[in-house]
Structure 1
Amino acid sequence: MSSESTEVMIGTAGVVESKLILSQGISRPISNGLGGQFKEIPVIDLTALHSKTATAADLERLVVDLRDACSRTGFFVIKNHGVDWSIVENAFGSVKEFFALPMEVKMKVHQSLSPSYMGYEQPYYTNVDRLKKGDLKESMTSAYDPFLDPAGVKDQMPELIRRKNLWPDPNDAPTLQPCLEAYRTACLNLVRQLAGLMAKTIGEQEDFFEKKSTYPIAGIRALYYPPQEASDEDETGLGAHTDVQLVTMIAQDPYDASGLEVLNAAGEWISPKLEPGTFVVNLGDMMGRLTNDFFLSTIHRVRNKSGQGRYSLPFFFGLNADELITTLPHFVTAEKPLVEGYDIGMTGYEHYNRRMQRAHHKHPEATSKLNDRLPPGMTKINGILVNGL
């Protein structure tokens, strides 16, 4: 995309004066540098992350590969990650059973019953692109429970930031909760390993994220995308958006059902090429804020034109919701001044609530959560409460 363009429409995202603007109020500058300069989604082999024979040089090469992917695309595919894929298959089996239930059964755990946006969404409940029909998908969202995390801090997590889940009656969906919790644990174990490498990619020590993620945001959003008509432009699977947290890790079934599309700086939508047993990983807004957008929270969407149903299990990992995230000073330079709006720190709690009310405008909490922040005295830096915040 040329920076000389004054107004170009990219799907349902618009570019005005070299800035990409989405319907949720999200804006991104169109990069003239490294960011967004990609034609394919890179694949990263994580063997060195868990191999007992990996050398320091092997791990350093992995850090270099991750840094390039994070700064160039904000998306990458991981293989040889060490996750037992039967856990993923069991999770997909459970969500397929759930989505096949009668609508009246699924509506018993509808998201409108949850103040924290947990539960079921029927087709067209969200309309991210503000299209005539909306988003053609079903979803079931569940949140992190510190009492189910083997490495969790149990009741040390403040009650205010716990998101209460709405699970269906076990008689209706007996495998959904246990299979998704097993999937959450497997994803957490891998992302906690990956976080040490990610810390190195941003010039920090390996333990940089540890005290900031003792009760992390670790949500799962099980999704079903029915096939779409190729000619129908009034709906999409999920409209153009960025993710909210630090990192998202996604499994999909079938693995070769194309649907996810990632926007590059030339205005092209690029789909990752997946092999069996691989995850797609992408960065979210809070990683962009942390690195002054040196690491990309890349815009993406889902359009299932594959002719078959597509199931997806994104796992959203973020720091403790009460942790204040500010831009690391070494990412602010004369060549790259601080991004507008990053001068004030933000907690995951605040950012999540703002983004959810925009994307879920029908939800009862959508307006009341608009300016919702943590009460004074609850905000932490590096896991420690700070007076005056």
Structure 2
Amino acid sequence: MSARIPTFDITRYDTDREAFVAELGAAYREWGFAGISNHGIPPELIDNAYAAFQKFFALPEEVKKKYHVPGGGGARGYTPFGVETAKGSKHFDLKEFWHIGREIPDDSKYREVMAPNLWPEEVPEFREYGYALYQALDSLGSRVLSALALHIGLPEDFFADKTNFGNSILRPIHYPPITADDIPNVRAGAHGDINFITLLVGASAAGLEVRSHEGEWVPFTSEGDTIVVNIGDMLERLTNHVYPSTIHRVVNPPGEAARKPRYSVPFFLHPNPDFLIDVLPSCVSAENPSRYPEPITAQGFLEQRLREIKLK
């Protein structure tokens, strides 16, 4: 783990709250990234979910493509290799992935923008472990947001009713072995995430790099049970860049390591689709005037960005 990007024991939120909130908030202001340890998500749940995801990605291409929804913007089900492209990049990312969304009733006011989940019948355990991991990361993300709210002078529960029906996504990703040398594509081009915060659980190999304020690429590979949590563009905008959405990428490994697949499972925590992203007054000052006079809904922001990364 890079010693420069700190890791925090989240049990301190209950035992040493004031110091924990101050340290966590300072790390996010500096890096937009931090590690979270002692999160309480059972390792066997993470292992079982990864095993189910790997089983799906090992299926024949024509089977996986049954779960691709044309025109769906990748919101649910399978997105094939060679589609997603980092904003501003000429080359697509070297990955394929699946999206699990929130389970909501059909009569929900959000049903129009939050489609029902698809589940691969070939891997029956995919649903059980995939959705259990979704719920565990959703709950952990809410705890992180509570600490961040306190750090910027908001009530602890400020985000609770703004994310309880969030269009959040669990994204199992498969980066296949790279068999050609000197290709211009990378596993994931330099990008910022769209959402409030992202929680990355158990990436199976090194490769994640975070860009510092000085423009240096800093490797950040989690160890043990640590979950990497970073700020997304929606929270950057809401907090008027008090919490920066840091650019990051997944680079291709050198030599023989490139011939091995890589798996990772980020959870993108989103606000409710109708939440209005309007700069928080507590994040505006003479030194930091509002950068966004026009508010935008979370759904409007999401659709704008999906077009930019070629998913829509």
Same fold (TM over 0.5): yes
1:161 corresponds to? 113
| Among 96, 99, 104, the residue aligned to 2:54 | 96
1:279-305 deviation line (CA, Å, top 9, x unaligned): 110000111111110101111111131
CA distance in 2, matches of 1:230, 1:263: 27
Paired with 2:214 and 2:73, the residues of 1 have a C-alpha distance of: 39
User: Normalising to structure 2: TM-score of the pair?
Assistant: 0.91
Asked if 1:280 is matched to 2:228, the reply is: yes
Q: Name the structure 2 match of 1:41.
A: 5
By how many angstroms is 1:133 displaced?
A: 5.0
Question: 1:321 is matched with which residue: 273, 277, 291?
Answer: 273
Query: Residue 304 of structure 1 contacts residue 310 of structure 1 at CA under 8 Å; is this kept in 2?
Result: no
Aligned sequence identity (%)? 35
Distance 1:321 1:129 in 2: 22
The question of 1:266 aligning with 2:214 is answered yes
Question: Secondary structure of the equivalent of 2:141?
Answer: helix
SS at match of 1:311: strand
Kindly provide the CA deviation profile for residues 352-383 of structure 1, in whole angstroms up to 9, marking residues without a partner as x: 111111112xx5xx3xxxxxxxxxxxxxxxxx
Superposition deviation, residue 101 in structure 1? 0.2
After superposition, the CA RMSD in angstroms is 2.2
Report 1:218-367 matches (<5 A).
218-228=168-178, 232-254=182-204, 257-305=205-253, 307=257, 308-339=260-291, 342-360=292-310, 366=312
> Structure 1 residues 240 and 111 mapped into 2: Cα distance closer, same or farther (>3 Å)?
farther
Q: Does the aligned pair in 1 maintain the 2:94–2:186 contact within 8 Å?
A: yes
Q: Which moved more, 1:227-236 or 1:64-73?
A: 227-236
Conserved 8 A contact 1:116-1:163:
no
Question: d(CA) in 1 for partners of 2:184 and 2:36?
Answer: 33
Structure number, greater radius of gyration: 1
Aligned-partner Cα distance in 2 for 1:329–1:230:
51
Regions of 4+ moved over 6 Å: none
* Aligned equivalents of 1:337, 1:230: Cα separation in 2: 48
Aligned residue number for residue 108 of structure 1 = 66
**Match for residue 140 of structure 1 among 88, 94, 98:** 98
Bigger strand fraction: 1
TM-fit CA distance, 1:201: 1.3
Letter in 2 for 1:327: V
Count, aligned residues: 307
Q: Which residue of 2 aligns with 1:85?
A: 43
How far the C-alpha of 1:140 sits from its partner, in A, is 0.8
Q: Report the secondary structure of 2:167's partner residue.
A: strand
The whole-number CA distance in structure 2 between the counterparts of 1:301 and 1:129 is: 12
Deviations 1:55-99 (A, max 9, x none): xxx111110111111100000111111111211111101100000
Please give the secondary structure, in 2, of the residue aligned with 1:76: strand
Give the TM-score, by structure 1 length: 0.74
Range with greater deviation from structure 2 (344-353 or 187-196) = 187-196
CA distance in 2, matches of 1:260, 1:230: 21
| Contact kept? 1:77, 1:274, Cα under 8 Å | yes
1:382 is aligned to none
Unaligned runs of 5+ in 2: none
1:113 is displaced (CA, Å) by 5.4
Which consecutive residues of structure 1, in runs of 5 or more, have no partner in the other structure?
A: 1-37, 148-153, 367-389
**1:44 partner SS:** strand
